[in-house]
Structure 1
Amino acid sequence: MGRITCANVLSDLYAMGVTECDNMLMLLGVSNKLSTDEKEIVVKLIMQGFRDCALEAGTSIQGGQTVVNPWMVIGGVATSVCLPSEYCQPDGAVPGDVLVLTKALGTQVAVNVHQWLIEQSDRWRQVSTVLTEQQARQAYQSATRQMARLNRTAARLMRQYNAHACTDVTGFGLLGHANNLAACQKADVSMVVHNLPIIAGMAAASAHLGGAFGLLRGTSAETSGGLLVAMSRTDAAEYCKALEATSSSDGGGAAWIVGVVEAGSRSAVIADKPRIIEVNAAGNTE
């Protein structure tokens, strides 16, 4: 939870192509439902995870705030001072660009399915007709690994391969963040998503539950998701190759061309019957 939160906070810098963070603050809400022993263990582990991820990103925590809260909540702030040449403006997408996504979708579904499995709930019994226990556990592990993975390498390469615009995909889902990105472009463009790379098994689970979470509609919330980058088709192909060639320990991984930028009215849509790309535990497509 600590690592994932830190990676999520840093992605706001990475979405601008800023790879160096000067300072981080950690904001922690400690649940008043935890016992003294639980606080001693859980709070330390969460803080350690946040700190370890910050160190991996080449930065450190210089302060923050802790409060007592009904729930366990963690967040943070990441700041950096840099020259205009050291970041990418998020408003330069033009017709003919393509959209690249650097992490698979489906984290919300994977986490919920895993919780249902643990509880052996009615929801699990329903989804177990299309998903085995092993598939559910693998999906959860895949989601956890990618949520904890920094977008730092993706941000560095984004600048190298001439990104025109970028956002990170988090709580508003792929479609929500694509809409936000399209709305802030200088050119009159629209963004159309044709491909949905999804953690293996999660598309089937969502569909079996009547479209639960809106995963195939692009509205399922993601946590510490990938970067959604607009760039030329030629640069995008090279960008994907370069990112896939980096090791996972360096924050790299798979990337997919998921859509196109067209002349339009600064909005985004998911195409009818988008292509579903199943992404397995190794980050490979099936």
Structure 2
Amino acid sequence: MESLNLRRPFDPVAHDLDPAFRLTKFSDLKGCGCKVPQSVLGRLLGDIFTEPANEEESNFQNIFMSQSHNKAQRLGMMGLTECSVVQLKQADLCLLQSSDYLYPLIDDPYMMGMIVCASVLNDLYATGITDCDSIEMMLGLSSRITTKERDIIAPLIIRGFKDAAESAGCSVQGGSTVVNPWMLLGGIASTVISKSSIIMPYNAMVSDVLVLTKPLGTHIACTANQWMNDDREKWSKIKVVLSKEDAERGFQRAMSSMARLNKTAAMVMRQYNAHGATDVAGYGLLGAAQSLVKSQTNEVDFVIHNLPVIAKMNSVNKVVGNVFNLNQGQTPETSGGLLIVFPREDGASFAKKMEQIDGLQSWIVGVVQKGTRTARVIDKPRVIEVPMKDKSDSLW
């Protein structure tokens, strides 16, 4: 159980910075909410992956696509994740790598470093792999940041990244630092594993269920907190449904969720016959489901009925006219949960086991039906407040 250990708001003055310093001001987009739209990505990919151009590409497709030769399935797989697999010369060994880049979503440099690391590792965890051999950090420092600000902020980001990597059981082996117009943070995680240890993402079957391991609404919570502190006009619109205490608690929950590794989920999903998984990120829950369903061998659809959302954030979304597209499952998430396909009984057992280990909930959010490899959210999904009631000794 995650105890109520609230992190104090980042205080620029305590770090000898100007009181108006905001890490989020060094980019115009936030977190993972900066992805090229999926429809555009598919068009850009075109026929690139229609046929393997060489033996290496053929090996990749053999590893990931098995007996599937449908073009749409291959494109779906390529767009599914930033994770790549390289067949090594040694029998049954592969190099598995995942990468990710984020823009600052919060103003706390240390926590932002932790969140970036957790996001980089997500794609490894979506394959059921829990051990990472090494991780590199990519740090793009804004050209608009002063030398003093750089020398204070960069070490805090790096320390947060390093601490998250160590909690994952791996070490930071290097990276790259560049100057960029916007602040840009990312990394690459690598591990060598046996091909047979990968949970393939294309084995969904009719009557399976979809399980989500983290609540939605992180971007809404971070935005509400930012409005409360820096935008009186926008705060005036949401304060009718959100007190300052609610906004602060929601922000703490969002930070806690984004910084939490999906390592436990990766470990437990192996025990309960997972039929595939992906992580929820910039395309939101629906986007993750759409990418995953396109790669399925069987002709199935994913239908989402439930949306677990950080408490009070659905009310915020409503009062601003659904600008976050929460009820459509399209709100971007940063370092979100894993969306995992299980046989029905195993999905419930997985959620129960996760709560036993971490004291945190997972939710059955949808079902797998016979179909044409599409995903949708029903017209009036059930929104689940997370948590349903505040606890004096715990965030969740």
* Letter of the 1:47 counterpart: I
Matches of 1:139 and 1:283 in 2, distance apart?
9
Instruction: Please state how far the C-alpha of 1:210 moved relative to its aligned partner.
Output: 0.6
Counterpart check, 1:271 vs 2:378: yes
From 147, 159, 168, the counterpart of 1:57: 168
Matches of 2:358 and 2:277 in 1, distance apart?
22
SS at match of 2:326: helix
Matches within 5 A, 1:274-285: 274-280=381-387, 282=394, 284=396
Instruction: Please state how far the C-alpha of 1:218 moved relative to its aligned partner.
Output: 0.4
From 158, 165, 185, the counterpart of 1:74: 185
Matches of 2:344 and 2:119 in 1, distance apart?
27
Structure 1 residues 283 and 192, CA gap change in structure 2 (3 angstroms): farther
Matches of 1:73 and 1:254 in 2, distance apart?
31
From 203, 206, 227, the counterpart of 1:116: 227
Matches of 1:89 and 1:276 in 2, distance apart?
30
Structure 2 match to 1:193: 304
From 131, 151, 160, the counterpart of 1:20: 131
Instruction: Please state how far the C-alpha of 1:120 moved relative to its aligned partner.
Output: 3.7
Q: Structure 2: which 5+ residue stretches go unaligned?
A: 1-111
State the percentage of identical aligned residues: 48
* Letter of the 1:273 counterpart: K
Structure 1 match to 2:95: none
Contact 2:201 2:276 in 1 (8 A): yes
Scaled by the length of structure 2, what TM-score is found?
0.69
Matches of 1:283 and 1:164 in 2, distance apart?
31
* Letter of the 1:6 counterpart: C
Matches of 1:121 and 1:101 in 2, distance apart?
34
Q: How many residue pairs align between the two structures? A: 280
Q: Structure 1: which 5+ residue stretches go unaligned?
A: none
Scaled by the length of structure 1, what TM-score is found?
0.95
Highest RCO, 1 vs 2 (Cα 8 Å, sep ≥ 6)? 1
Structure 1 match to 2:247: 136
Structure 1 match to 2:218: 107
Runs of 4+ displaced beyond 6 Å: none
Instruction: Please state how far the C-alpha of 1:64 moved relative to its aligned partner.
Output: 1.2
Matches of 1:266 and 1:38 in 2, distance apart?
49
Counterpart check, 1:93 vs 2:200: no
Larger radius of gyration: 2
**Deviation digits for residues 142-197 of structure 1 (CA, Å, limit 9, x no counterpart):** 00001000000000001111100100000100000100000000000000000000
Instruction: Please state how far the C-alpha of 1:283 moved relative to its aligned partner.
Output: 6.3
Counterpart check, 1:254 vs 2:361: yes
